[in-house]
Structure 1
Amino acid sequence: MRGDNVIVGQTGPKIKIAGAGPSGLTAAIVLAKAGYEVDLFEGRKAVGARFIGDFQVIENMSREEDALEMLKRFGLDTNFFIRPVRQALFFDHRLRSQEVGSRRPFGYFIRRGSERETLDRGLLTQALAAGAKIHYQTRIKPEEADIIATGPATPDGLAKEMTFTTSLPDTVWVLFDMNFSPGGYAYLFVLDGIATFGCAITRDLSRINYYFDRSLQRFQELTFFPIENDRTAYSFMNFSLKASAEASGRYFVGEAGGFQDYLFGLGIRYALTTGYAAAESLLKKTSYDRLWKEALGPAQEISVVNRFLYEWGGNRGLSLFIRQAGRGDLQDYLGGWHRPSWWKRLALPILKWGWQRAGRCAHRLSPHWCRHKPVSSHPELGPIKP
């Protein structure tokens, strides 16, 4: 493994990381603090450049460990915007609302992008302070990297988001309607006058603009809100199951390795966890595959079954989901979805067989499982391949 080769004149082994997203930066922070010489190669002109200051969520229901405790265990400081979320308003396809809440946060809002107080800028500051170096607008070949953190290669889900300023009070709204966001959901988050509206889908990806516009109109039916200083952007969700996330001594982390929760498409916790696991593997000379499987393997597999239930139930199923979510503690309820059960374990191989993609795909992985989807195209994004 190249990560074990000590470079003369350096304080520790030399590590090259392709990509400076949350997973790559987490690995860089841990390794640089341990005395490794770390070089990050980022293809864009800044960290977080594909985001627009939008609010995203670090989910806090799939594990017993609170996300803040996880960050502390990883040695990461919270030098970025992070705010717990304990309450929300869910809407079904008839716009019937249900208040939901939890004692402990069921998620933490963070912001993504190149701006101050974003997760990306905060992690970058920590990496540089630890001694890591970053090279912007520079790409290296996968075989030249020790850790590959280059983000999603192909969309298994697609979101269009808009950030804007508004006079709305703090708001956490989620609309579950397959007619407006097939396979996904639409959402409006407002914190301190800054808003993120988004539409996330897992089917009919080429029509994301159509669904985004329809969902926005649907939210305006609930309450009219002014939109000022708006910006829009697209983001992908990348998901796969694999026996190994290693290839010739290189580690795939974050969405480059298909690490994602398939139920709601929330992947930041997975990105941070796999970045930390890759660093720990190099530091302790232990198996990366063993570390990420212990941390994420069962939950990621179960999320395939959860994804099936989410889609199979349709709008009636989502209405039932919303009502049940409001009957107790939301974190406990969603945590139950993520816990393995005997019947989910039995259903998993059947679903994998039914959804298996035959032939090649665009995931940059060794043999793996990913879901079959038809090829489509998008007027702005170009071909969208399965």
Structure 2
Amino acid sequence: MIQAQTVCAVPTRREPVTVIGAGPAGLACAIVLARAGQRVIVHERRRRVGARFHGDFQGLESWSDDIDVLDELASAGIRPSFEHHAISHVTAFDGRDARHEIRAEKPLYYLVRRGSGTDTLDQALLEQAQASGVEVRLSSPLKSAPGLAVVATGPVLANIMAVGYLFETAMPDGQWACFSDRLAPDGYAYLLVQGGRGTVATCLFREFTRNDEFLARTIAFFTEHAGLDMRTARPFGGVGNYGPPCRGEHVGRLLVGEHAGFQDALAGFGMRYALRSGILAARSLLEGSDYDSLWRHSLLPAIRQSIGNRLLYAKAGDRGRRAMFRRMAVGDARPMLARLYSPSLLGRILYPFARRHGRIPQHDPDCCDDACTCVRCLCQRHVTSGVVEPQLKTRPPTS
């Protein structure tokens, strides 16, 4: 089907652009617009920016593109004023508990913290936005807005779930991950330690109702294999969605970040896609260019490839994953990871099967378009396949 282009109107300096949601995508968009002289008003329904998160460590990936992610942000005028640590060594365990040392010459990702605290990614973006003249209104839920609007309200469905603990520790800095269905069905468990603070979690792609059981197994695993030492542990949890995005514009609004389905389906590394989509939305508004063309060129190929990768990961089993990590542990792992996200003939062949295997798209109760095929499933033809909003049941571990 040939899709009609939607060319955005260029806003006037007096006409404010409304951004709904103060996550990384929304704030990145606001920063680029404001630094170009555009008036911007950001509405955030929560009382604090970053309130979805609790200071947990996350990875801002830098392997899927030739350009370093911090250089990409800098080219858009966004400074890395948040706490960040370049990670080029990860200890990975496969489903048979074999250990693999994954190394790269350049950063695989940057360890950042999310939340409302000092030096978090969210707080740094807020401060840059305000310094650029953006008006940020907290506790301001907004469902409709006159004029130009960008929607950055986060995931609309839940088919990824992460639960874990934040803690203090005497452990040395390190990054550990385990790719075993015993700990994280179709996902992975991880332990991230930096400067006496740590995050340990299981990232699930199915069996959400058993999250407490998988988290207990994760704690036991890393205690045995990485010397996990948790002090003053605090539980946290969150959900996300992945799937094939269909469009970035709807009834005059530009959709960015996870709200539009811009997410890595293989591992859930979506921050880079969120930030990039916010920057692209700002460009389309400032230049009067077609936003859908921009994100389809810059984001869609890698997202579709990641959906195919998810099918391969699920079907590979312990033996296939072990072989993959053995290969990755020889030499520089970054080029191999980059190839995983580069569009390929195999990826195009796998894509339709991967969509069916992953039960995506899924029905969205806000359906309003009979022809949509995106992650939001804006169409009543599709039926939810047992994917429900999970209940987070984590509790502080007993000592």
TM range (shorter): over 0.9
Match of 1:384 in 2: none
The residue matched to 2:340 in structure 1 has which SS? helix
The two structures, once aligned, show a CA RMSD in angstroms of: 2.1
**Matches of 1:245 and 1:54, distance apart in 2:** 29
The residue matched to 1:180 in structure 2 has which SS? coil
**Matches of 1:2 and 1:333, distance apart in 2:** 38
CA contact (8 A) 2:243 2:360 kept: no
Residue range with higher mean Cα deviation, 28-37 or 232-241: 232-241
Matched letter for residue 295 of structure 1: S
Match of 2:336 in 1: 333
Structure 2 residue aligned with 1:232, among 232, 235, 238? 235
Structure 2 residue aligned with 1:257, among 251, 255, 260? 260
**Matches of 1:365 and 1:60, distance apart in 2:** 36
Structure 1 residue aligned with 2:324, among 321, 337, 344? 321
CA contact (8 A) 2:93 2:177 kept: yes
The residue matched to 1:44 in structure 2 has which SS? coil
The reply on whether 1:174 has 2:177 as its aligned counterpart is yes
Structure 1 residue aligned with 2:162, among 159, 163, 176? 159
1:279-305: CA deviation from partner (whole Å, max 9, x where unpaired) = 000000001111111111111111111
**Matches of 2:248 and 2:264, distance apart in 1:** 16
CA shift, 1:67, in A, is: 0.8
Identity of aligned residues (%): 33
1:297-337: CA deviation from partner (whole Å, max 9, x where unpaired) = 11111111100001111222221222111012111111111
Match of 2:203 in 1: 200
CA contact (8 A) 1:52 1:113 kept: yes
**Matches of 1:358 and 1:254, distance apart in 2:** 17
- CA 1:16–1:358 in structure 2 vs 1: closer, same or farther (change >3 Å)? closer
Q: How does 1:348-363 map to 2 (within 5 A)?
A: 348-357=351-360, 360-362=363-365
CA contact (8 A) 2:10 2:287 kept: no
The residue matched to 1:32 in structure 2 has which SS? helix
CA shift, 1:169, in A, is: 0.1
CA shift, 1:359, in A, is: 7.0
**Matches of 2:119 and 2:104, distance apart in 1:** 26
Match of 2:143 in 1: 141
**Matches of 1:182 and 1:157, distance apart in 2:** 11
**Matches of 2:219 and 2:244, distance apart in 1:** 33
**Matches of 1:273 and 1:301, distance apart in 2:** 16
1:330-361: CA deviation from partner (whole Å, max 9, x where unpaired) = 11111111112112212222333554557733
CA contact (8 A) 1:88 1:172 kept: yes
- CA 1:335–1:17 in structure 2 vs 1: closer, same or farther (change >3 Å)? same
Match of 2:381 in 1: none
CA shift, 1:43, in A, is: 1.1
**Matches of 1:345 and 1:59, distance apart in 2:** 23
Structure 2 residue aligned with 1:368, among 364, 373, 376? 373
CA contact (8 A) 2:8 2:291 kept: no
Match of 1:96 in 2: 98
**Matches of 1:340 and 1:359, distance apart in 2:** 24
Structure 1 residue aligned with 2:76, among 63, 74, 77? 74
CA contact (8 A) 1:17 1:147 kept: yes
Structure 2 residue aligned with 1:110, among 95, 99, 112? 112
The residue matched to 1:50 in structure 2 has which SS? coil
- CA 1:365–1:230 in structure 2 vs 1: closer, same or farther (change >3 Å)? farther
CA contact (8 A) 2:54 2:114 kept: yes
The residue matched to 2:142 in structure 1 has which SS? coil
CA contact (8 A) 1:29 1:130 kept: yes
The residue matched to 1:141 in structure 2 has which SS? coil
**Matches of 1:13 and 1:34, distance apart in 2:** 14
Matched letter for residue 125 of structure 1: E
- CA 1:280–1:377 in structure 2 vs 1: closer, same or farther (change >3 Å)? closer
Give the TM-score normalised by structure 2.
0.89
- CA 1:220–1:142 in structure 2 vs 1: closer, same or farther (change >3 Å)? farther
**Matches of 1:15 and 1:171, distance apart in 2:** 42
Matched letter for residue 230 of structure 2: I
Structure 1 residue aligned with 2:304, among 278, 294, 301? 301
**Matches of 1:176 and 1:101, distance apart in 2:** 17
What 5-or-longer segments of structure 2 have no aligned partner?
Answer: 1-6, 378-383, 394-399
The residue matched to 1:232 in structure 2 has which SS? strand
**Matches of 1:353 and 1:380, distance apart in 2:** 27
**Matches of 2:152 and 2:247, distance apart in 1:** 15
**Matches of 1:342 and 1:92, distance apart in 2:** 27
Instruction: Give 1 or 2: higher strand fraction.
Output: 1
The residue matched to 2:299 in structure 1 has which SS? helix
Matched letter for residue 62 of structure 2: N
CA contact (8 A) 2:161 2:390 kept: no
The residue matched to 1:368 in structure 2 has which SS? coil
CA shift, 1:256, in A, is: 0.6
